[in-house]
Amino acid sequence: MIICDTHCDTLYNLQVRPGSHLDVTMDTLKKGGVSLQTLAMFVGPGRKGDVEALFAGMFHQFELLKEQGWKQVDDPSEAVDGEVSVMLSIEGCEPFDPGLEVIDEYRRRGVRMAAITWNHENTLAYPAMSGSTQGLKPYGVEAIRFMQQVGIAADVSHLNDAGVRDILEKCDKPPMASHSNCRALVNHPRNLSDELLRDIFAAGGYVGVNFWPTIVGDPANVDRVVDHIVHMYELGGEGKVGFGSDFDGIERKPEGLTGPQDFPNLIEGLRRRGFAEEDVKNIAGLGLVNYFKRIAV
Ligand SMILES: [Zn+2]
> For residues 145-166, b (16+ Cβ closer than 10 Å) or e, as one string?
bbbbbebbbbbbbbbbbebbbb
pLDDT at 47 over 70: no
Q: What architecture is domain 4-294?
A: Alpha-Beta Barrel (3.20)
Q: How far is the CA of 246 from the centre of ligand 1 (A)?
A: 7
Q: Compute the average pLDDT of residues 174-181.
A: 98
Dump pLDDT digits (tens) for 51-103. 999 999 999 999 999 999 999 999 999 999 999 999 999 999 999 999 999 99
Q: How far is the CA of 39 from the centre of ligand 1 (A)?
A: 12
Q: How far is the CA of 204 from the centre of ligand 1 (A)?
A: 22
pLDDT at 162 over 80: yes
Q: How far is the CA of 252 from the centre of ligand 1 (A)?
A: 14
- In sign, the C-alpha dihedral spanning 220, 224, 228, 231 is negative
- In angstroms, rounded to a whole number, what is the distance separating the alpha carbons of residues 129 and 172? 26
- In angstroms, rounded to a whole number, what is the distance separating the alpha carbons of residues 34 and 28? 9
Q: How far is the CA of 276 from the centre of ligand 1 (A)?
A: 30
pLDDT at 45 over 90: no
Q: How far is the CA of 13 from the centre of ligand 1 (A)?
A: 13
Question: What confidence score (pLDDT) does residue 48 get?
Answer: 63
Q: How far is the CA of 63 from the centre of ligand 1 (A)?
A: 23
Pairing of strands 206-209, 176-177: parallel
Q: How far is the CA of 52 from the centre of ligand 1 (A)?
A: 19
Q: How far is the CA of 244 from the centre of ligand 1 (A)?
A: 10
Q: Compute the average pLDDT of residues 34-52.
A: 89
Mean pLDDT of the chain: 97
Q: How far is the CA of 102 from the centre of ligand 1 (A)?
A: 22
User: Do the beta carbons of residue 252 and residue 213 sit within 8 Å?
Assistant: yes
Q: How far is the CA of 275 from the centre of ligand 1 (A)?
A: 28
Question: What confidence score (pLDDT) does residue 46 get?
Answer: 73
Could you report how far apart the first and last alpha carbons of the chain are, in Å?
Answer: 27
- In angstroms, rounded to a whole number, what is the distance separating the alpha carbons of residues 104 and 70? 24
Q: How far is the CA of 27 from the centre of ligand 1 (A)?
A: 23
Q: Measure CA 86 to chain center.
A: 13
- In angstroms, rounded to a whole number, what is the distance separating the alpha carbons of residues 208 and 215? 13
pLDDT at 278 over 70: yes
